[in-house]
Amino acid sequence: MNKLNLFEKIRIRLNPRYKNMSTSCVGFPITMVDKSSFLYMYEEIFEEEIYKFKSQNTKLKIIDCGANIGLSVIYFKKLYPESKIIAFEPDPKIFNVLSSNIKYGRLENVELIQKGVSDTQGNIAFIPDNADGGRLISGKENAEQILVETVKLSDYLSEKVDFLKIDIEGEEVKVIEECKNQLKNVENIFIEYHSFVDKEQQLDKLLKILHDTGFRYYVHHVGYPKKQLFIETPIYANMDMQLNIYARRQ
């Protein structure tokens, strides 16, 4: 796979945040909406390859919940060119960039859906952040909000899914709980778990569902937290913990 060279990384870093700019690091021109979130996602997806998985099947089905500008979709297509991908992204601004990137890449058999994934179908308030952290909300928050459509993930799990990626900024437990009866059709799951300081932690509930539905899971902390956590718990974007959870069917 193409790699972003040092000079291109420096060029991107020299730009201001939250500004659209282009790069061709994936083999064709793509647009980013924020330099910092782009570089972070690029390093995770294309350099560390956190979504890499093996399958004997080449015509796989992949569902990407929280596709953002499309780096994950592009990675999956490079990994398995014949795969069928369904990608969800609720933020209208980000979705337009996602659509443009997939179009310029001439990626076939990719279905883009401008909706969020939740435990209900309807319209829900959404807080955009013009980067990679926009999220659905169920209560009142003092931030710019828009209304977005949501769907239930269970409606898309009626047949075999080779890889399910869930990076939806806090909705992950509700979504997994809603679709747990259909998880029997999924082979591999990647979940980004978010623990917000003002909400009850639900990691135990999430891991129990994965265990009870036949998965063996592995947990990796995102970032480098301080070791003296009894003394000081690091908080970023109102989160005191963010985990990458990898689950494979046993």
Residue 216 lies in a domain: yes
Residue 29 lies in a domain: no
Residue 9 lies in a domain: no
pLDDT of residue 1: 63
Work out the percent of the chain whose per-residue pLDDT is above 90: 75
- Type of residue at 34: D
pTM of the model: 0.93
Tens-digit pLDDT profile for residues 112-131: 999 999 999 999 888 887 77
pLDDT of residue 146: 84
Q: Is the pLDDT of residue 233 over 90?
A: no
Residue 5 lies in a domain: no
Q: How many angstroms separate the most distant Cα atoms in the chain?
A: 51
CA distances from 102 to 52, 109, 127, 153, 166 (A): 20, 11, 24, 22, 19
The whole-number average pLDDT for the span 94-107 is 96
225: confidence class by pLDDT, cuts 50, 70, 90? low
Q: Is the pLDDT of residue 135 over 70?
A: no
Structural domain for 108, as ranges:
40-115+153-249
Q: Is the pLDDT of residue 211 over 90?
A: yes
Residue 139 lies in a domain: no
The overall average pLDDT reported for the chain is: 92
pLDDT of residue 139: 55
CATH number at residue 194: 3.40.50.150
Residue 148 lies in a domain: no
Tally of domains within the chain: 1
One-letter-per-residue 3-state SS of the chain: CCCCCHHHHHHHHCCCCCCCEEECCCCCCEEECCHHHHHHHHHHHHHCCCCCCCCCCCCCEEEEECCCCCHHHHHHHHHCCCCEEEEECCCHHHHHHHHHHHHHCCCCCEEEECCEEECCCEEEEEECCCCCCCEECCCCCCCCCEEEEEEEHHHHCCCCEEEEEECCCCCHHHHHHHCHHHHHHEEEEEEEEEEECCCCCCHHHHHHHHHHCCEEEEEEECCCCCCCCCCCCCCECCEEEEEEEEEEEC
Q: Is the pLDDT of residue 140 over 60?
A: no
pLDDT of residue 87: 98
Q: Is the pLDDT of residue 43 over 60?
A: yes
pLDDT of residue 62: 98
Question: CA geometry: angle at 34 spanning 33 and 40, to 5°?
Answer: 120
Residue 143 lies in a domain: no
Residue 182 lies in a domain: yes
Tens-digit pLDDT profile for residues 157-207: 999 999 999 999 889 999 999 999 999 999 999 999 999 998 999 999 999
Question: CA geometry: angle at 84 spanning 81 and 85, to 5°?
Answer: 100
pLDDT of residue 127: 81
